[in-house]
Every structure is written in structure tokens, then in C-alpha cells.
Amino acid sequence: MDNNLLLEMKQIDKHFTGVHALDQVDFAVRKGEIHALMGENGAGKSTLVKVLTGLYGKDSGQIIFDGEERSFPTPQDSQNAGISTIYQEINLIPHLSVAENIFIGREPKNVFGIDWKAVRSQARQLLLDNGIDIDVTQDLATYSTAIQQMVAITRAISQNAKLLIMDEPTSSLAEDEIQVMFEKMRELVAKGMSIIFISHKLDEVYTICDRATILKDGKLVGSYDIDKISRLEMVSKMIGRDASNVLKRSVGEYEAKEGTAALLHTKDIDNRVKLHGISIDIRPGEIVGVAGLLGAGKTEFAKVVFGCDNTYTGEIEVEGKPIRMNTPKGAIDLGFAYCSEDRKVEGIFPHMSVKENMTITALSRISKFGVVDTRKQKEIVDKYIDSIRIKTPSPDQLICNLSGGNQQKVLLGRWLSMDPKLIILDEPTRGIDVGAKAEIEALIKQFSENGISVLYISSELEELIRNCYRVVVIRDGMNSGELTGEDITEANIMNYIAKNMKETEEAHG
């Protein structure tokens, strides 16, 4: 065996009912490298990782780790052998404290048993090293997804493993948190550790990785040195067709809708916690982007508009009529749809099928006397499985058996199929592969052409620039600026994001 290799997986095969998830896959990771595992939603990335760590058994194939042929019957075995994993689904325990989560199964001990004082102080120090200053005695569940993700990363990094596996670790992190994580990763590989990194963000892969292995439909496409494969080639290999259209960057065309009356008018929305006066108007058919840092109040604003937070003060008018948004039900009755950021928690019924998950909000529309019109239901489901390319063996598959990205597409299909007047999309392309991203963006454009308004919340500035007619920038729960047409550029958005920062600094300085 090549002594430069830490891991060699040979001819790995894995079936699920109706799905050949891994088809004779070869995969090798060198010592001290960061190796990207790439592929569309459902390509088999997470499955390959789970077969390696012993979460799934393999049908056949060979795993050579650190010079020996190994098999890991359970995740504990792979962890003992020096493999530390951050799964796509954060797999910590919400109702234990942050400190317990970091040390569970390997708590520092003293003569009396577990040394709780050490657990707390060491956990606190490890988090501080990663730029996170929080109370480690609180339950993990009390913190945001981003913090939970940083805790998972901290736990994994602190295990001093030989191989660290990160399955979409950055999906809910803000830019500065990602930078901290990248620094950590560079430190770890400098010490000889190897990292497997899964991400749909090409920028990240090109920033941090040395090599990449691409999977498509459970098969190996190939392994490449990052500096020898262009982005266009990489995406073309992932989607199996020419990618020049997918990566084409068009500036969001600005349509003069200034004269039209607003569908939704909001003024001085304040909830005393995160929102301190936000005003946004959306006209019929307009795509309005909302930009701002993590914690600026983007999601909180969406929740007010959708009736999830009735503590607000301020004005809301819908089609010229003053309205009090009290409940999501009320919002749905007004023709609003909300595809939330935290789809895992708020949206999925794991033990129901793809079909049921997708049409649950449309049921009243497609039922008569309480009986679902299955033909209409099938029409809707087929349409979205096709148009946003949901990879599932059948509409009757349980949603929990789909890959992470495909679960999200089902939920997006749910809201798209409602025929709403206004659709609020909170990070709609998070975790979604490049090909499907382009298709979702095209669908959104199509909505707007049909008169549907879109409130598009995203932390990916490029997406806002590509898709929005107007972008509202918010900061600290307040409007910070608004851009239209040609003026929607990364520099201008960043300027508004930073503007108030300077003012505050000056005020405080």
C-alpha cells in the first residue's frame, strides 16, 4: 500500500430498497490533506461516510485505514480507531448541557468519577479557542443552529483524531465563523490530520481543499487535484452535462414596478427583541431580497410577516388593507407561504412519504368532502419531482430516507405548490446542489413573471444579486439601505451592512 494514504476504500457497494446508493466506489485519502467529496443531492456522499464510520453496513468492499484492513461495526469502533465525524444532521443531544455534549463518552475523571468542574472548564476553553463565548452549562437546545454546529465542530476537533469527516459543516454558519473553522482546519492538517470535507459551496472547496473526489448516482466519476480542475469542469462532472449555462452569472434584471401598489406594506416593525423598526414594501411580482449578517433580524422579520410573532408593533397592510398578523393560519389564508430556514425542525414529518410531505398544505385545495383527489395530488408531486429534480425511488418513499438536500427540495415543493400570492423564502438553496440551485432560481423567476411576489432572504450575496429586482439591507433590526437594478452589487450591499457598524464605532469611540 502507498504509505502516503491514510484511508483507502475499495469497491464499496451499498443498496437500499430501490436505490443503488454506492456502486463499486473507490475512494482514497492521503495523510495531511483536505479532500472534498463532491456530487449532487443524492449522489451518495453521506452514505459513503456512513459506511466508513459504521453507521451503515456495506454490502461489499474493503476499507483500509491507517495501514490495516478494518471494519467498523459501530460508530464507536470507528471513533476509537481515530475517525471523528460531524454528520450532516447535527447528532448531539439537545437536552444535555453544551459541556456534556462536548465530552460525552470521554469525560475527564478524578478519583470520585467524572470531574464535572474539569468538564465545564475544558469545554469552555475549547469553545473559546474556536471564538465561541457561551455559557457551557446551558442546554444545547437553548442555542441557535449555528452555535450548535460550532459545538459539534468543537467536539469533533477536540478528539485528536487521525481523520476528521465534515458533512456540510458550514451550512448554517456565518462568514466569520466559517473563516475561524477554516483556520482550525489548516492547523489540524499541518499537524498531519486528514479531513474529508463535504460542501455544495464551490468557493469553500476551492479555498480549503487539496483534492476532490466526485460521485454521481452512486458511482465514482474521478479524483482530482483541485488546482488542476476548473470549476466549470468540476460542475460538469457532478451534473453529467455541460455546466456553462448553470454557472452563467446574469445580473438580476430590474423591472420598473414603481407605479404599482404594494401587495405587502410593512412599516416600523418592532418586536423589542431583534427588530427595531423595519419597513419593507413588496409589489405584485416583485422579487425583493433581504440581506444582512446572521442575527440582523432577517428571519425574525419573516416570522412577523407570516404571523409567527404577534408581539410586534408597527403597520402591516396587505393589498391596501391594514391587517394584524396574528397566526400562520391567518397568513396562509391571505395567500402567504413561508419556507423556513430551519427546515429540519419546522417542516419535515419524517415518517410520512415524499408525496404526503409535499402536499400537506395543499390538501384542502385538492380534497372534496374530505377525500383527497389523488390524481391532482399525483400531478403536483410529479411536477415538482421533475422540475426541481427530487431524487427519490418513488413518491411513496419515506422522506427520512432521502438525502439531506432532497428533503429540502420536497419542502420547497410543498410551498411552491400552494399557488401563493407571496412566498417568503428563507435561505432556499442552503444544502442544495449547484444544478438544482439554478433550477430553483429559474422557478422563482417564473413565479414573479406570473405575478407572485417573493421575499428572498439569503446570506449568499451572489444569489441576491442574480435574482432580485430590489435588495433591502438590514442591520441590527433596522433598515440600513436599499438597492435596485445595476446598483445591486456585492460592494454596495457590503457597504450598507458595514455602514452602521462604522457609525456605531464612531458613536462609541
Ligand X SMILES: Nc1ncnc2c1ncn2[C@@H]1O[C@H](COP(=O)(O)OP(=O)(O)OP(=O)(O)O)[C@@H](O)[C@H]1O
- The site for Mg ion (CB under 5 A) is made up of 46, 88, 403-404
Q: Which is nearer to ligand X, 158 or 403 (CB)?
A: 403
In single-letter form, the type of residue at position 407 comes to Q
19 binds ligand X (CB under 6 A): yes
Q: Which is nearer to Mg ion, 86 or 163 (CB)?
A: 86
Q: What is the DSSP letter of 189?
A: H
Binding flags for ligand X, 389-418, as an x/- string (CB under 6 A)? --x---------xxxxxx------------
46 binds ligand X (CB under 6 A): yes
Least distance to Mg ion, CB of residue 167, Å = 6
- Nearest one of 396, 386, 397, 390 to 411, comparing CA atoms: 390
Of 7, 9, 21, 434, the one binding ligand X (CB under 6 A) is: 21
Of 6, 25, 41, 305, the one binding ligand X (CB under 6 A) is: 41
What is the DSSP code string of 242-265?
A: --TTTT---PPPPP--TTSPPSEE
CB atoms closer than 10 angstroms to residue 269: 25
44 binds ligand X (CB under 6 A): yes
Q: Which residues within the stretch 336-395 sit at the binding site for ligand X (CB under 6 A)?
A: 391
β-strands 313-318, 321-322: how paired?
Answer: antiparallel
Q: Which is nearer to ligand X, 252 or 428 (CB)?
A: 428
Cell numbers linked to 445: 423567476
Contact (Cβ atoms closer than 8 angstroms) between residue 278 and residue 481: no
Cell numbers linked to 430: 442552503
Least distance to ligand X, CB of residue 189, Å = 23
Helical segments of 74-210, H only: 75-80, 98-103, 116-129, 145-157, 175-190, 202-208
Contact (Cβ atoms closer than 8 angstroms) between residue 354 and residue 399: yes
Q: Which residues within the stretch 82-121 sit at the binding site for ligand X (CB under 6 A)?
A: 88
Q: Which is nearer to ligand X, 377 or 408 (CB)?
A: 408
Expressed in angstroms, the distance from the first to the final Cα of the chain is: 61
Least distance to ligand X, CB of residue 431, Å = 7
Choose one: 42-50, 105-113, 141-149, 343-351; the region binding ligand X (CB under 6 A).
42-50
Task: Work out what residue 353 binds among ligand X, Mg ion, none; the CB cut-off runs from 5 to 8 Å by kind.
Answer: none
In single-letter form, the type of residue at position 464 comes to L
Task: Work out what residue 411 binds among ligand X, Mg ion, none; the CB cut-off runs from 5 to 8 Å by kind.
Answer: none
Of 9, 27, 36, 39, the one binding ligand X (CB under 6 A) is: 39
- Helices 404-416, 434-449: axis angle to 10 degrees equals 10
Report d(CA 382, CA 355) in Å as an integer: 9
Binding flags for ligand X, 152-191, as an x/- string (CB under 6 A)? ----------------------------------------
Report d(CA 311, CA 96) in Å as an integer: 30
Least distance to Mg ion, CB of residue 403, Å = 5
Q: Which residue has the cell 417564473?
A: 446
Choose one: 15-23, 120-128, 410-418, 457-465; the region binding ligand X (CB under 6 A).
15-23
Q: Which is nearer to Mg ion, 88 or 172 (CB)?
A: 88
Task: Work out what residue 47 binds among ligand X, Mg ion, none; the CB cut-off runs from 5 to 8 Å by kind.
Answer: ligand X
- Nearest one of 44, 52, 35 to 224, comparing CA atoms: 35
Cell numbers linked to 106: 470521554
Task: Work out what residue 212 binds among ligand X, Mg ion, none; the CB cut-off runs from 5 to 8 Å by kind.
Answer: none
Least distance to ligand X, CB of residue 56, Å = 7
Q: List Cβ neighbours of 70 (8 Å cut-off, separation of 6 or more).
A: 63, 64, 81
Nearest to ligand X by Cβ — which residue?
405
Q: Which is nearer to Mg ion, 285 or 404 (CB)?
A: 404
Report d(CA 453, CA 449) in Å as an integer: 9
43 binds ligand X (CB under 6 A): yes
CB atoms closer than 10 angstroms to residue 60: 11
Enumerate binding residues for ligand X (CB under 6 A): 16, 19, 21, 39, 41-47, 88, 391, 401-406, 433
